[in-house]
């Protein structure tokens, strides 16, 4: 990819001085990587330019694009971080340093199935890089996407290693950031290298089924478009086909029977206002028979990664089963690009607090995990023990949203218990928890919370943590807060005990 293509792509979205800075960064990277080749035989500069182009396409701010161009210079050339800071500013240098640290942490990975780098130091670097600025991981995702697209040039063992890492680590990370399209692209590339025969089989299964269904779906689409016009609702109606890897995973759940999968093809209806989403849902249910169990309102209760949409599955008069997804243009943009959709070209300064998650209260619920990473990294820096299981739950497990009685949203891992919620709200609330009410009913300490639960913590000043509570928390955050309090109580108890002994001895002497 030549410099001129990247600059032309960027021109409509950035200020003139930013384009000049991008031009300068490309020249600097080209000189730094001079003589280096990719495994494909292409000049190395093709890779960072492709990464930058992807970041432009995703709508990232100019600092991220500059870091995309420069992301390999410190690791693979004679260029230094000090040079980059003096030429392109502290923010760009910080991002390049973060991407470099993630690469170094990855190099230390030993057991990919546990998503853990080999050493605590490497893991700490990775967590701090993510926690301080989430743009680091977005740049890394763009980097990984281009590497996957050229994976055929690597040796077979490297193909498998990179593909598995992509499927197990980078795919879930893209999903966590709400970047649905990127997650699917990563999964498609990785799956095609990990199991080529199965990839081909599922791909052919989709093609065969599409041939039968496309014409029928076209009739339904025309009917819906006509009905929406009658109601003066402006909408785009498009088809959506399930990804190969998504279908592969779903087939495993239904014993390979594709007839049990209703969302292989879906119609997506995109409208201008949230209110229109519900109007469209009502119109569809007037036209066709809805399958009640398959109506999902992800607008009122978004998915843990921030995804919003209405889903419904209907049965047409010809007995065809069709799934619909209904969302606004803004929701659609987020479903496709996730967090990247939040980085507006001309609002960079206003979004600084949003980009850099220093306090969980400044982040939307689906991004609270970023701030929690910083806490984990701090614990690692103090050489405190954190188990692999805890990290798997906290970083890569499925997430749920629960609500406080006031309507505040809290993001927890699936399987979380009430004490996990209490400690996430505040350590004092956790320490003095006496009982819990969930959705208005008494809830046991050892009963898991569910997505959408409203959780009330009943506290009492005299209620204090017990050793047994260590079996009633699942998150690293809650476990660390609980252990800290138990240690403090242990010190208080020992001091109280010593004071009582002294008091008794003193009384005994007086009695004599």
CB atoms within 10 A of CB 162: 20
String of b and e for 254-285 (b: at least 16 CB within 10 Å)? eeeeeeebebbbbbbbbbeeeebbbbbbebbe
3-state helix, strand, coil in the chain (%, to 5): 60, 10, 25
Which element (helix H / strand E) includes 313?
A: strand 310-315
Q: What is the largest CA-CA distance in the chain?
A: 104
Annotated catalytic residue 76: yes
| From 27, 61, 72, 75, the catalytic residue | 75
Phi-psi region of 443 (alpha: psi -120 to 50; beta: other; left: phi over 0): beta
Three-state DSSP class for residue 457: strand
Q: Is 440 left (phi over 0), alpha (psi -120 to 50) or beta?
A: left
**8 A C-beta contact, residue 255 and residue 203:** no
List of residues 6+ apart from 480 with CB closer than 8 A = 375, 379, 384
SS3 labels along 324-392: EEEEEHHHHHHHHHHHHHHCCCCCCCCCHHHHCCCCHHHCCHHHHHHHHHHHHHHHHHCCCCCCHHHHH
Q: Look up residue 397 and give its two tokens.
A: 């497990």
SS3 per-residue string spanning 192-255:
HHHCHHHHHHHHHHHHHHHHHHHHHHHHHHHHHHHHHHHCCCCEEEEEEECCHHHHHHHHHHCC
How far is CA 485 from each of CA 220, 242, 272, 479, 495, rounded to the nearest angstrom?
61, 48, 50, 10, 15
Q: Rounded CA gap, 423 and 401, in Å?
A: 15
Which residue among 8, 63, 72, 76 is the active-site one? 76
What are the φ and ψ backbone dihedral angles of 248, each rounded to 5 degrees? -55, -45
Cα–Cα dist 80/85, whole Å: 9
Go through the chain and tell me how many residues it has: 512
The dihedral built from the CA positions of residue 136, 142, 145 and 149, taken in this order, carries a sign that is negative
Active site residue 75: yes
User: Catalytic amino acids?
Assistant: 75-76
């Amino acid at each position: 990819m030549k410099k001129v293509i990247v600059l032309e792509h960027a021109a409509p979205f950035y200020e003139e001085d930013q384009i000049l800075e991008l031009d300068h960064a490309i020249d600097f990277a080209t000189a730094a990587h001079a003589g280096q080749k990719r495994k494909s035989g292409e000049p190395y500069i093709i890779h960072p330019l492709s990464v930058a182009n992807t970041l432009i396409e995703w709508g990232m701010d100019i600092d991220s694009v500059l870091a995309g161009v420069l992301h390999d210079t410190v690791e693979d050339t004679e260029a230094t971080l000090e040079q980059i800071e003096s030429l392109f500013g502290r923010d760009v240098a910080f991002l390049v340093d973060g991407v470099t640290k993630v690469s170094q942490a990855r190099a230390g990975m030993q057991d990919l199935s546990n998503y853990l780098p080999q050493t605590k130091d490497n893991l700490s670097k990775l967590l701090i890089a993510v926690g301080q600025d989430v743009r680091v991981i977005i740049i890394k995702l763009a980097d990984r996407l281009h590497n996957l697209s050229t994976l055929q040039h690597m040796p077979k063992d490297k193909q498998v290693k990179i593909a598995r890492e992509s499927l197990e680590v980078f795919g879930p990370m893209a999903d966590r950031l709400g970047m649905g399209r990127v997650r699917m692209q990563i999964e498609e590339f990785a799956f095609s290298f990990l199991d080529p025969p199965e990839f081909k089989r599922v791909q052919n299964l989709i093609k065969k089924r599409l041939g039968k269904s496309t014409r029928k779906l076209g009739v339904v689409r025309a009917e819906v478009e006509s009905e929406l016009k009658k109601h003066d609702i402006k909408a785009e109606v498009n088809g959506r086909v399930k990804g190969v890897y998504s279908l592969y995973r779903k087939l495993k759940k239904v014993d390979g029977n594709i007839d049990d999968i209703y969302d292989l093809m879906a119609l997506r209806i995109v409208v201008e206002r949230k209110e229109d989403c519900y109007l469209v849902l009502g119109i569809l249910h007037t036209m066709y028979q809805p399958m009640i169990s398959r109506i999902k309102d992800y607008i009122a209760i978004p998915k843990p990664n921030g995804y919003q949409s209405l889903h419904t599955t209907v049965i047409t008069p010809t007995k065809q089963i069709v799934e619909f997804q209904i969302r606004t243009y803004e929701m659609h943009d987020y479903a496709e690009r996730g967090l990247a959709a939040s980085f507006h070209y001309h609002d960079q300064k206003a979004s600084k607090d949003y980009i850099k998650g220093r306090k969980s209260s400044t982040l939307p619920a689906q991004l609270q995990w970023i701030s929690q990473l910083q806490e984990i990294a701090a614990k690692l820096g103090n050489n405190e023990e954190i188990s692999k299981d805890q990290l798997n739950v906290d970083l890569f497990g499925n997430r749920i949203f629960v609500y406080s009685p006031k309507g505040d949203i809290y993001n927890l891992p699936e399987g979380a218990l009430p004490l996990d919620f209490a400690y996430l709200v505040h350590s004092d609330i956790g320490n003095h928890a006496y009982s819990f009410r969930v959705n208005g009913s008494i809830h046991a300490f050892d009963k898991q919370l569910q997505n959408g639960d409203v959780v009330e913590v009943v506290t009492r000043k005299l209620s204090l943590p017990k050793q047994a509570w260590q079996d009633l928390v699942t998150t690293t955050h809650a476990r660390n807060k609980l252990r800290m309090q138990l240690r403090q109580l242990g010190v208080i108890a020992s001091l109280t005990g010593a004071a009582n002994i002294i008091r008794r001895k003193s009384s005994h002497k007086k009695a004599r």
